[in-house]
Chain A
């Protein structure tokens, strides 16, 4: 242990026991924090940022991201959890809990003198066995079964939001994914726009089959509402652009200057006129509306020209919205005025502006075959909106996962109880020698989920666990009913988890736990050391 000290007298070293102690404690500490978040009955945490901004969350991922953890072990665990979120969109709290439990169980054996390597071997065996077991345990589903998708999204959302919102958002999230789903194509969740308005109550959140843009027309005389409208999605500049080269005008009278001013405008005006011509061509006198949504700018003079023709024009639309627009309304985006033709136009039943204080929103609604949609989140204040936004993101991912996996796993702790029983009854017997200890530790750690779930719902953890295990031994799949504290059949209650979430947890939790257990020295000898 002292060897580093010889090399660098400033170094900070922790010996084997101290290192293990630190790792275990950090994992336990994080476990302690995240524990109360777990499950539908978890409590809310309030995070106050440096500028006094408030964030309320139940989502493990958000919590870890915002907490600014400094302890090295805790950072490692937090990173795994963030990776979990990147891959699956859910299960961040679970993974922290599992690692914490695993470290806790391992600590018991370490204190009795076992070598960490032995336990790690056991973890490894258990992990492999569990992955096989998971494949047997999963329930294959039909990805177009709306009810099943709802079940999964409900399970995911209920761990993040208040109950009265869950039912509503379940439908919104499920329908949003079903809207953008196109046969034979991978699902692109970016085609769901998430827009928020600080307005009304959280229950007013809704799904808009169409698009909501967070800006409005920039001209007071443009129509505020057009119906049965053609939508032109364009990426053409309708403003004067300076030449790349250094150009200058020379004139010697005001007439000449006026002529130059006019000539300068001519090019831009011409492009604007082409758009107007197209409008006249397709609309004629039919009274149908025409909406121009441009990714580039439109200068006041062009806006004025367009306004006179009754065209609703939006400038500087976001790039991502251009893609979504064509998916929602049909047609395709054009990049030059030469391409203008009636074919490139999309269609929407209603386009209207909504003004909220200073901010303007434009709704493109009533589209015929939308392949893109918007989840419009409303709430009286920013933290409510942020909370819903995070939850919606996870909900969408959960639904997508089902469609990708074509399978789900029974929730409410059913998988964990069954898996623990499987480890004890079959895998432990197959394992050779001292690796049995690791398998046992893993099995016990899995049961930690059920305990936390019971605790958060206000029941005695051991009572509940034994009740459920007894039920499970009778050969049925049981989960915990958080309302009564009794056993329930998750299949009947419609509680399903994502397969990929569980798989990812089982894959990564043992890896990180093993790494932490095998740490036998912590050294800090970098240049950046704080002076002693």
Chain B
């Protein structure tokens, strides 16, 4: 019969639906996908992590070891793996660092869950065990906070740079001594009196090709990658008038018609227009402003008068750049073309057009006390390299923000993970229920961090782990992997530390994502929307 004998879910759904259910079909498949994802990012973990070359759907090339970039550009489709990606993105949003830890840990947890499932444990027992183990791990983590790190003078450049080294060295090993002080300097320039309100947006990054990374510098103020409009290219100690709209003649909202009866009137009209505009520009010049910044186009006639009064004209089309400019100069954006009030004028110590790496850039220099925007000018040989450094710097700035909120740090180099693993394992042995197996596996999963660090550095992972455990058993809770010798070493003494908040969120989000993946026992997938995929290799033969 045409309608068939419907049985089961498959027959009831629209065509094109896919449906998986049960432990074998859904859970195991999900675990497999997640593991594959984690396997990929794992090799990028740690200071000696490998770079990945990712070409995204726009055929843009990325060379990076930053996990969040890798997974974002990879466009993961598998639903369960996507849950992991979401967790990583949440981590990026919360602390902006340690995304790789989320993925690696989650992958390892799921891999261990697979073993448990094969041993016959129920998913709910594993989920419960993991949840309890993660609570325990987080409380251990809190006890690991290095004494004396809970207070940090966020304005002390040397101290901040020291703390930022950890975040940078995991992305750009070798450059941390160069980048950390730069980031620290830029951040300290803009940090408000209440460090809690530190805004990441106030530290700008401008990438200019050419030169080498050591040529990078911090500009107290802004760098705009465009030229000044007129012939005035440099002013100092100048007042600044900022206009949100364009600088040109204004028209009414209602359609206007110029009514002209004779040739004299026509001439008179153009003249009156000119006079009006000159009046405006003159008023601006009279108010003491030496710089006009416009959000829109600057009319040709307006430009003429601006030149006449020797003003520096600047166009900032981006609304956000405009706001930053206002913040940096203390100006108020004026919505109508009119003479600025004294309190609407901003002040710039120096605005100058400089040639940086072949491009003309407008550099706004401020005294540290005035500006609330700082810019890091990064120099480097290739675009890909600059992009990668930018991501590292981004992580660094985010780490600074995290430090402003919670300055606590924990031992790095896998030391915290080993200690968590040790204590969670002990905790698991005291449990009586079936979840003790899950807790033990959770502890095992935590080992992945030191193991991977060791592996990525070409060391004997098992041996390193054994020595670490031995050191920790003797009470050296701060002992982590030394990537050069493989011996346990108190890295905190060398100033390598991890931010507590980043670790906390990573463990938390990884566990949450894993528990969610485990709890799903059925997947119902709708038919993929959209037209057919473009044929691969199209246009090869012509």
Contacts and interface: CB of A to CB of B under 8 A. Distances in A.
B521 A220 contact: no
Interface stretch (A45-53, A340-348, A398-406, A504-512): A45-53
Nearest to B244: A300
B276 A254 contact: yes
A40 to B, nearest CB: 11
B211 to A, nearest CB: 32
B57 interface: no
Nearest to A72: B3
Contacts of A381: 83, 86-87, 89-90
A410 to B, nearest CB: 26
A143 interface: no
A498 B343 CA distance: 63
Contacts of A264: 252-254
Interface stretch (B103-111, B331-339, B351-359, B479-487): B331-339
A221 B272 contact: no
Nearest to A26: B6
B503 to A, nearest CB: 15
A271 interface: no
Interface string A137-159: 00000000000000000000000
B522 A46 contact: yes
A50 B526 contact: yes
Contact of A248 (B257, B525, B528, B530): B257
Interface string B249-269: 111111111111100010011
Given A198-B93, A200-B94, A69 B268 contact: no
Interface in B1-33: 1-3, 5-9, 11-14, 17, 26
Contact of B256 (A47, A70, A248): A248
B323 interface: yes
A50 B528 contact: yes
A41 interface: yes
Q: In which size bucket is the chain A interface? A: 35 or more
Interface string A34-67: 0010000101111111111010100000000011
Contacts of B53: none
A171 B254 CA distance: 56
Contacts of B123: 43
B212 to A, nearest CB: 33
Given A46-B520, A261-B250, A381-B87, A68 B5 contact: no
Contacts of B527: 50
Interface stretch (B152-160, B177-185, B508-516): B508-516
Contact of B5 (A25, A46, A242, A251): A25
A68 B13 contact: yes
B312 to A, nearest CB: 23
A304 interface: yes
Contacts of B94: 200, 380
Interface in B69-124: 77, 79-80, 82-83, 86-87, 89-90, 93-94, 122-124
B12 A74 contact: yes
A84 B452 CA distance: 53
Contacts, number: 191
B99 to A, nearest CB: 13
A33 B508 CA distance: 31
B146 interface: no
B7 A25 contact: yes
Contacts of B8: 29, 32
B12 A49 contact: no
Interface string A232-265: 0000000010110001111111110110110010
A12 B4 CA distance: 11
Contacts of B524: 45-48, 66-67
A41 B124 contact: yes
A225 B258 CA distance: 47
B519 interface: yes
B94 to A, nearest CB: 7
A12 B516 contact: no
A474 interface: no
B255 A248 contact: yes
B12 A69 contact: yes
B493 interface: no
The winner among A29, A51, A254, A264 for most chain B CB atoms within 10 A is A254
A102 B323 CA distance: 66
Nearest to A256: B272
A71 B336 contact: no
A21 interface: yes
B275 interface: yes
Nearest to A303: B335
B244 A22 contact: no
Nearest to A263: B252
A83 interface: no
A54 B13 CA distance: 18
A276 interface: no
B256 to A, nearest CB: 4
B254 A248 contact: yes
Interface string B284-299: 0000000000000000
Nearest to B527: A50
Contacts of B326: 220
12 contacts: A45-B523, A46-B524, A70-B12, A74-B6, A243-B254, A247-B255, A249-B254, A253-B269, A253-B272, A260-B252, A357-B93, A380-B93
Given A52-B82, A240-B253, 15 more contacts: A12-B1, A14-B1, A29-B6, A44-B520, A45-B523, A48-B524, A52-B79, A52-B528, A56-B516, A69-B13, A253-B272, A264-B254, A380-B86, A380-B94, A524-B3
Closest A-B pairs by Cβ, 3 of them: A50-B529, A380-B90, A254-B272
